[in-house]
A and B are shown apart, each in its own frame.
Chain A
Amino acid sequence: MNDKPKLNLERVPIPKQAPEERATNFDEVALGYREEQALQEAGRCIDCKKPGCKDGCPVNVDIPGFIRAMKDGDMPGAVRILKSKNSLPGICGRVCPQETQCELTCNLIKKGAPIAIGRLERYVADWEIAHPEAVERGGQEARRNGRRVAVVGSGPAGLTCASDLAKLGYGVTLFEALHVAGGVLMYGIPEFRLPKTIVQGEVDYVKSLGVEIRLNHVIGKIATVDELLEQGFDAVFLSPGAGAPMFLDIPGENLSGVYSANEFLTRTNLMKAYLFPEYDTPIQVGRRVAVFGAGNVAMDASRCALRLGADEVYIIYRRSLTEMPARLEERENAEEEGIIFRLQTNPIRLVGDEQGRVRAVELYETELGEPDESGRRRPVRKPGSEFTIEIDTAIPALGTRPNPIIPLSTKGLELTRWGTVLTDEATGRTSKDRVWCGGDMATGAATVISAMGAARRAAIDIDAWLKGSG
């Protein structure tokens, strides 16, 4: 048994590649805890009577439970506890915004640094990969109950819903539009933040539960939602992702060298353009890159541009640091690597050459006025502040609008005024019988874990509904 741990208010730092080194490669930035570091950090957990961490987790992982198992030296037990609630711990340990979730509600935060729950989660997930025989992975296929569910889109929501339902005995078919499963985890989040072998490992785990994955299937095209229901699926869960990227709506947005963040990241991550010409898909970066927007996707795009060889990469954001939507950790990583933040700056137009390539961007500075409907201070153009910078590549990272393919091809699916699918938050039910929805298609762009939470709730409701319907 462990001795009662002393209250330690400093978390164990996670080893990272040095900024100047990592800015030139696509290898993972955060290297993960070594065993002694993980145990030391786990040792800080006081295993409190009323743990707050669990409530902060959208999928209710038994956080004190898996940390306790770690402290007891029972790593297979830690894996089992973690995976009973979260099929994708290697992913969540890396990309969840723990600082606004489980770590925010950790009781230690009242006195000092909360437990580094995300890093521990990652450690446990990586331990399992390194010890494949230690935990029974295969043979977990639940006894089939004869009912079938179609899941549309294999991103975080789709993988979660599919694995939850498979564990309950449903025959699940997961339809993916692209040539690999994983959705945004594969095409969007870069290798250096989330290695694709980790995603593949977790997709393989979902497969091992008996989920059938059908790649190259764009639902709404190769089969409609109504056809899936007619073909014998008892229920459909829609998690196709956010879809259509937004552009700046300024002159010059269709010049060559202007990439949506989605395109820039898809070329880089999914198509491996950073390995061109070994891989066939090219990407053009040039010397100077301007990324517009300051969310996590903007950070990812800017850091990819740097790794692809750009000399100077700007984040151009119309508000200030205070309003910046990116996670603090990602912003700091970007800053350390040398990304240049041009805050309170907004573009007027993109300027091209005769070949139609972007060559410069005209900008103005802003002042922040009263808060707008989003609660953030509204940027106002500062008179006479106009200036131009030369660029070779422009990357709007302004978020996405819902993809129209499923709404246009599905009868009786009610939409919100933003074009997302009208969905009951507690259950994931849509206006259409036997159709549920979760993830960005229901909420607009959000996080991996919130999509997983929605998928978990939908899986519970699908199960309850199908049992009720005999």
Chain B
Amino acid sequence: MYRIVKKELLVPNTIYLQAEAPEIARKAQPGQFVIMRVDEVGERFPLSLAGWDEKAGTLDVIFLIMGRSTMKLASLSEGDCIMDIVGPLGKATEIESYGNVLCACSTFGVGPAIPLAKALRERGNRVISVMEARDEGFLFWEDRLKEVSDETHIASGDGCRGKHRRASEFITEHLKSGHKLDRVFAYGRVFMMMECSRATRPFGVKTTVALTPVMVDGTGMCGCCRVSVGGETQFTCVDGPEFDGHSVDWEVLIKRKRAYLREEAQAYDLWQPDNLRKIAGLAGLPERSSAV
């Protein structure tokens, strides 16, 4: 059992959790993820690591409420326990001295972007961070991102903070205006990562994306999380989760992520009526969103 130390509703539908997992905290590296199972009947699902504290023995995650499992996780309070946390899984990000690096992030991707930007900067890179949000009300952790970046920009769907509405627009303009980028990282929803990859492709800037397909064991044993990258089948859990965004077959990824939408809805609808009390505290509850 893994105790929840801190919990916060960051913005509507977006939850931050800090949980005790000292052994994982000791080994975690940027780019890695954990698999959780909330309770005895729960499913296993992956969440990117948004941070860890070796001394305190804790790890951080940020997640969106998408269905029954994430709703269950969101309904736990500080002091409650998560039944299972496995990790750190997946390959760590290759932190090298690239030069000018841009980290684009949105929603749950803001979490893992912070340890990434920090590590990149410690390695001597110049880090430009671009946070994408639907509107002003969905911005969070801007201060934390600033702390680990040389430059921080906001791309907001409502245009509240400058002219760029999407991270990909920022990238395109940045490159078009003659700035040099040596590497781009994009963490967040599939569409956003896909758009960022499209933006960098004409300029030949290698773009790393972190994929979050459906997973079961997370250790390479079942192949549920397979994706097509450069025509090869890869297992996200052991070969990834980071891949070259220019080689990912996005269509396969999106279709596989949508495979269980019907079951998700069914499970959620059955769970929710009995648990309204637990979730009453969560402001801005979601209209159920697609898994992408």
Digitize B61-98: 1 where CB-to-A-CB distance is under 8 Å, 0 elsewhere: 00000001100100000000001111111000000000
CB neighbours of B68 from chain A (8 A)? 280
Stretch with Cβ within 8 A of B (4 or more), from A35-43, A57-65, A90-98, A251-259: A251-259
CB neighbours of B267 from chain A (8 A)? 276-277, 280, 282
Docked pose: A50 CA to B97 CA in angstroms: 71
Interface size class of A (residues with CB under 8 A): 35 or more
The A contact surface, by secondary structure, is: loop
Contact B217 A254 (CB under 8 A): no
Is A144 engaged at the interface, CB distance under 8 Å to the other chain? no
Contact A281 B221 (CB under 8 A): no
CB neighbours of B222 from chain A (8 A)? 245, 260, 262-263, 266
Is B251 engaged at the interface, CB distance under 8 Å to the other chain? yes
- Please judge, given known A-B contacts A256-B256, A280-B69, A282-B260, whether A247 and B85 are in contact too, CB under 8 Å: no
- Please judge, given known A-B contacts A177-B217, A262-B221, A263-B224, whether A254 and B233 are in contact too, CB under 8 Å: yes
The B contact surface, by secondary structure, is: mixed
Docked pose: A284 CA to B27 CA in angstroms: 36
CB neighbours of B87 from chain A (8 A)? 218, 221-222
Stretch with Cβ within 8 A of A (4 or more), from B35-43, B120-128, B133-141: B35-43
CB neighbours of A272 from chain B (8 A)? 41
Considering the complex, which residues of chain A in the window 210-248 have a beta carbon less than 8 Å from any beta carbon of chain B?
Answer: 215-218, 221-223, 241, 243-245, 247
Contact of A271 among B72, B216, B219 (CB under 8 A): B216
- Please judge, given known A-B contacts A221-B89, A222-B24, A263-B216, whether A179 and B84 are in contact too, CB under 8 Å: yes
Tell me the minimal C-beta distance from A266 to chain B in angstroms.
Answer: 5
Tell me the minimal C-beta distance from A358 to chain B in angstroms.
Answer: 10
Residue of A nearest to B263 (CB): A282
Of B42, B72, B259, B260, chain A has the most CB atoms within 10 Å of the CB of: B259
CB neighbours of A403 from chain B (8 A)? 219-221, 238
CB neighbours of A147 from chain B (8 A)? none
Q: A263-B223, A282-B260 are in contact. List 18 more A-B contacts (CB 8 A).
A: A177-B86, A178-B217, A179-B37, A179-B84, A187-B221, A218-B219, A222-B87, A244-B223, A256-B258, A260-B222, A260-B223, A262-B223, A277-B270, A280-B42, A281-B44, A282-B264, A356-B252, A405-B238
Residues of A within 8 A of B (CB): 177-179, 187, 215-218, 221-223, 241, 243-245, 247, 253-257, 259-260, 262-263, 266-267, 271-272, 275-282, 284, 355-357, 403-405
Residues of B within 8 A of A (CB): 23-24, 27, 37, 41-44, 68-69, 72, 83-89, 216-217, 219-224, 226-228, 233, 235, 238, 251-252, 255-256, 258-260, 263-264, 266-267, 270
16 contacts between A and B (CB under 8 A): A217-B23, A218-B86, A221-B27, A243-B219, A244-B235, A247-B223, A256-B256, A271-B44, A277-B267, A280-B267, A281-B43, A282-B267, A356-B258, A403-B219, A403-B220, A403-B221
